Amino acid sequence: MGPKRVRIVDIVSPQRVSVSKPGSDGYVRTKAQALTRLADLLEHPEAAAVRIRDVLDAREREQSTGIGGGVAVPHGEVAELSQPVGAFLVCREPVAFDAIDGEPVTIFFALVGPKRASAQHLKLLARASRLLRNAAFRSELATAESAPDAYRLIAAQEEGRP
């Protein structure tokens, strides 16, 4: 039996997915608000949201994690964590995020993990990148009406179902 395939749905629960729409509570309009929302989604008994936000901010100061195509992948290592944790934020109204292509961001996948698991961290980032490379999937995810709808789309895409 070969090594277990790295899956995003193993680290992202439905509670770690959020859809931001105009008029909704906590509507995300800025990069700072997006990072705060992601840190809140990533909060874990082993690492408070404020600690996670500090890690995400530090990474963004090094270089924007806006990878283009309306996607950003904020990530970092949090020593207190024993396992990686991921979250998705879908913004129905794009957010200026200093992405490499200069375009605003609609889909955020955030990942934090323990320092000692850098190989797993890289595999999860690569897996997310492969999922989000699909333009039709990004388009569908960007118009998700709710967090449960977005999670269902993510899980179906990862399993290879439309």
121 catalytic, yes or no? Answer: no
Annotated catalytic residue, options 31, 51, 75, 127: 75
User: For 81-99, what is the mean pLDDT?
Assistant: 95
**What does pTM read for this prediction?**
0.93
> SS3 for 14?
helix
What is the rounded distance in angstroms from the CA atom of residue 36 to the CA atom of residue 54? 10
Phi, psi of 158, deg, nearest 5: -65, -30
Q: 70-79, 91-100, 117-126, 144-153 — which is least confidently predicted? A: 117-126
Structure tokens at 112: 């934090």
- pLDDT band at 135, cuts 50/70/90? very high
Nearest CA-CA partner of 37 in 131, 98, 107, 100: 107
pLDDT on residue 4: 62
What is the rounded distance in angstroms from the CA atom of residue 6 to the CA atom of residue 83? 13
> SS3 for 87?
strand
- pLDDT band at 24, cuts 50/70/90? confident
- pLDDT band at 5, cuts 50/70/90? confident
pLDDT digits (tens, 9 = 90+) for 49-65: 999 999 999 999 999 99
